[in-house]
Copies of this chain bind each other. A is one copy, B any other.
Amino acid sequence: MDVRCHAERVVLPTSPPETVACCAPLVRQPLGAADAVALARTLKAVADPARLRLLSLVAAHDGGEACVCDLVDALDLSQPTVSHHLRVLVEAGLLTREKRGVWAYYALVPAALNALAAVLTAPAGGARSRSAC
Q: Which residues does A use to contact B, with CB under 8 Å?
A: 4-7, 9-10, 12, 26-31, 33, 36-37, 39-40, 43-44, 46-53, 55-57, 59-60, 62, 64, 67, 69-70, 73-74, 76, 103, 108, 110-111, 113-114, 116-118, 120-125, 127
Cross-chain contact A56 with B29 (CB below 8 angstroms) = yes
- Stoichiometry (number of copies): 2
Supposing A43-B47, A46-B43, A113-B120 touch, asked if A31 and B52 sit within 8 A by C-beta, the answer is yes
Q: Which residues of B contact A70 (CB under 8 A)?
A: 5-7, 9-10
Smallest beta-carbon distance A34→chain B, Å: 9
Q: From residue A114, how far is it (CB to closest CB) to chain B in Å?
A: 6
